[in-house]
Amino acid sequence: MKSTPLTPAHIALGARMAEFAGYHMPISYTSIQEEHHAVRNGVGVFDVSHMGEFIVRGRQALDLVQYVTSNDASRLAIGDAQYSCLPNSQGGIVDDLLVYRLPEDMCAEGEQAFMLVVNASNIEKDWEWINRHNRFDARLINISEQTGLLAVQGPRAANVLQPLTDVNLAQMKYYTFVKGRFAGIDNVLISATGYTGSGGFELYVEASQTEALWKAVLEAGKPVGIRPVGLGARDTLRLEMGYCLYGNDIDDHTSPLEAGLGWITKLQKGDFVGAEYLRHQKQEGIKRKLTGFRVDDRRVPRHGYPIEDDHGNVIGVVTSGTQSPSLGYPIGMGYVAIDHAKEGTPLRIVAGGKKLEAAVAKVPFLKL
């Protein structure tokens, strides 16, 4: 099992540790509910150094990124980031990822550079996939092992972090980034991104500097009660916003159109992997849709539970479920037949011998 540069720090803090995507990761330090509320109402910091980072560089770096991703990377100016996915030829999703358009001072004359940030569980798969489709004048560099990553999330994140840098964090637009000095460390990539819905920043740093950055952020946040946050609350936070988790809500057999990710699937941008399949699917219409639902019961819906209509017919399957700390009742997402995806449609979640009453709900579940 792999470790991040902060694994000893998590253990020293008494974190409950478990294997996740092949890494020894903190699930929680106190409780998932406490950590969840810390992010929603204040500020929390996550170790997400297990994520993968690839540099794409060359005269045709953009062409490669355009070919393997669904979104339109040609729209990115230097300093922009973009959510996207890697589609396969059958319309499934190899992975979802972030695409960063890097400064050209990293390149030789006439070249461009991008950074792709991929899920930890898919680093090797994505590396092989992108290289397999690289028929361009572009090269890939895997910097995953050399990169640490902290996500500092919550409405008070900017105030906590501002004393650590000269970069004006309040002026940074969502899905933009800058490189600068942060907590005395040079060349930190400061990104106005995150997967919680509560705002904040992600900080990319040399792996050897991760612990120093972690300590500086926790120290700066002491006056407002910053909390280290584990993967448990990361899951409840993203689910309240209806954000997909790879391996649960999206995978090699789910289409971005089915998953509600049509907004990152630019079918008119030109040729890309899976474009023909997805254009056909768009024209024909999807048969199922990733749908949110709320449960009128105390039991939590779990991944893999069947979903029935009110006549007992199986119409789908649960992909994610949790007890929402913010809302106080169980919520979930799952794929259901398209004619049962309208808001308010009654559903039944089959939990062993019991059927939980539920109804289709609009996502995000939480309005911030």
User: CATH 2.40.30.110 spans which residues of the chain?
Assistant: 287-361
Which pLDDT belongs to residue 169?
A: 98
What is the arithmetic mean of pLDDT over 13-28? Answer: 97
pTM of the model: 0.97
Q: What is the C-alpha to C-alpha distance for residues 286 and 280, in angstroms, rounded to an integer?
A: 10
What is the arithmetic mean of pLDDT over 21-32? Answer: 97
What is the arithmetic mean of pLDDT over 264-280? Answer: 97
- Structure token digits, residue 89: 């030829």
**Residues, the chain, total?**
368
Q: What is the C-alpha to C-alpha distance for residues 278 and 284, in angstroms, rounded to an integer?
A: 10
Q: Would you state the CATH architecture of domain 287-361?
A: Beta Barrel (2.40)
Interval 305-337: pLDDT, tens: 999 999 999 999 999 999 999 999 999 999 999
Q: Tell me if residue 290 falls in helix, strand or coil.
A: strand
Which pLDDT belongs to residue 158?
A: 98
Q: What percent of the chain has pLDDT over 90?
A: 96
Q: What is the C-alpha to C-alpha distance for residues 295 and 275, in angstroms, rounded to an integer?
A: 36
Q: For the chain, give the mean pLDDT.
A: 97
- Structure token digits, residue 62: 């953009």
Interval 100-110: pLDDT, tens: 999 987 677 88
User: CATH 3.30.1360.120 spans which residues of the chain?
Assistant: 7-48+146-240
Is residue 90's pLDDT more than 90?
yes
* Half-sphere exposure (Cβ direction) of 140: Cα atoms closer than 13 Å: 22
Interval 283-297: pLDDT, tens: 999 999 999 999 999
Which pLDDT belongs to residue 108?
A: 77
Most distant CA pair in the chain, distance: 65
Q: What percent of the chain has pLDDT over 70?
A: 100
Those residues with Cβ within 8 angstroms of residue 109's Cβ, 6 or more apart along the chain or in another chain: none
Q: How confident is the model at residue 131 (pLDDT cuts 50, 70, 90)?
A: very high
Which pLDDT belongs to residue 105?
A: 75
- Name which residue leads in pLDDT, 213 or 352: 213
Interval 67-79: pLDDT, tens: 999 999 999 999 9
Between the alpha carbon of residue 11 and those of residues 4, 21, 28, 35, 91, the distances in Å are 12, 18, 11, 17, 41
Interval 202-257: pLDDT, tens: 999 999 999 999 999 999 999 999 999 999 999 999 999 999 999 999 999 999 99
Which pLDDT belongs to residue 146?
A: 98
- Strand 44-47 vs strand 227-229: parallel, antiparallel, or unpaired? parallel
Which pLDDT belongs to residue 82?
A: 98
Q: What is the C-alpha to C-alpha distance for residues 299 and 46, in angstroms, rounded to an integer?
A: 28
Q: What is the C-alpha to C-alpha distance for residues 361 and 344, in angstroms, rounded to an integer?
A: 6
Which pLDDT belongs to residue 368?
A: 83
Which pLDDT belongs to residue 229?
A: 98
Looking at domain 7-48+146-240, its CATH class is alpha beta
